[in-house]
Amino acid sequence: MDNIRLFTGNAHPSLAKEIAENLNMTLGDITVSTFCDGETLVKINENIRGDDVYIIQPTCFPVNHHILELLVMVDAFKRASAKRITVVIPYYGYARQDRKDQPRVPISAKLTANLYISAGVNRVLAMDLHTDQIQGFFDIPFDHLYAAPVLTNYFKKFDLKNVVVVSPDVGGLKNARGFAKRLGVDLALVDKRRVDSSTSVAMTVIGEVKGKTVILVDDMVSTAGSLVEAAKALKEKGALDIWAAATHAVLVGPAIERIKNSHLKKLIVTNTIPVPEEKRIDKIEVLSVASLLGEAIKRIHNEESVSSLFI
């Protein structure tokens, strides 16, 4: 592990510190702040010439600020002669804008990919992208991790009986199928109709859920509309306890109130995004992915297989 350096911006320093501890390292010395007019200021306070640099920065709320902060950091490292710059983006902002689903709209996930490459990024490490196709937006090496090992290990310790994994929509079916395979259980699907960008209505449950313990699986929870509507539909179909698992706890708008008043027994999320104390209600439990990200960083640096982490 020679010539490897870890740095972080202001998006999620506690996760970066935890990753560093898992690697028996300390975070590099860098100043990331703002001028009085709001412009981002970055200064690397140590020599990194010829080093393998990893910048840990989920592009979560405020998304635009954290993206620009990351870009300015990359530029600083490039100009300081880092040998290789890898951005570790546990949560990829703008991932939901990955295609033209309406006339005259941008493909912002592609735009951000272009920005990272233009800034000087040599490699990307991300976790549970909203759609796998985002990897194709990059013409540089891209390592895509999944939080499924962390989440499924959590459920295995409860030894739940008569379990079925459910995807709350068609788009998440592939993710849910992998989850079900890891647990060795059946798979079902809730077909939904989206009313607008923050509201959806569950329509039909496809698969047998009556008398079963359900684990709803999704890549992220934003306003929690899809999740809560799916839980309601499953309860009406005779499901018993309804758990939910999601990698990214975006939790905006009415999400917390919806979860409080829902049929969900518990929502299990990870710390790819910082979850403030006021959002850590009894129904929400946060698991750490620091060891998984740390192991991936170590393997990338040592030119070892990352795909073996998926097994």
- Residues 32 and 74 sit within 8 Å (Cβ to Cβ): no
Tally Cβ neighbours within 10 Å of residue 132: 12
Question: Residues for the chain: how many in total?
Answer: 311
CA 162 to chain centre: 29
Q: Just give the CATH number of 148-287.
A: 3.40.50.2020
Q: Are 137 and 126 in contact (CB under 8 A)?
A: no
Residue pair 190/168 in contact (Cβ under 8 Å)? The answer is yes
| Residue ranges of the chain whose pLDDT lies below 50 | none
pLDDT at site 234: 94
pLDDT of residue 214: 97
Residue 209 pairs in a beta bridge with none
Phi, psi of 200 (to 5 degrees): -140, 155
With 0-12 / 13-18 / 19 or more C-beta atoms within 10 angstroms meaning exposed / middle / buried, residue 36 is: exposed
The pair of three-digit structure tokens given for residue 29, joined into one six-digit string:
């010395």
CA 93 from chain centre, in angstroms, equals 9
Residues of the chain with CATH 3.40.50.2020: 4-146+290-310, 148-287
Q: What is the pLDDT of residue 202?
A: 53
The pLDDT assigned to 196 comes to 59
| Residue 200: burial class (beta carbons within 10 Å; 0-12, 13-18, 19+) | buried
Residue 52 contacts residue 4 (beta carbons within 8 Å):
yes
How many whole angstroms separate alpha carbon 157 and alpha carbon 95? 32
Cα radius of gyration (the chain) = 20
In angstroms, the CA 217 to CA 146 distance is: 13
Alpha-carbon torsion, ordered 147, 241, 216, 192, to 10 deg: -170
| Other C-beta atoms lying within 10 Å of the C-beta of residue 62 | 12
What is the structure's pLDDT at 193? Answer: 67
Structure tokens at 237: 């179909």
In the sheet with 84-89, reading across from the earlier edge strand, the strands are 4-8, 52-56, 84-89, 123-127, 142-145
Q: What is the pLDDT of residue 33?
A: 96
pLDDT at 198 (0 to 100)? 55
Place of tokens 């954290």: 66
Tell me the C-alpha to C-alpha distance, in Å, between residue 252 and each of 60, 107, 167, 172, 224.
11, 22, 21, 20, 8
* Residue 148 pLDDT: 94
Active site (catalytic) residues:
192
- pTM of the prediction? 0.94
What's the CATH fold of domain 4-146+290-310?
Rossmann fold (3.40.50)
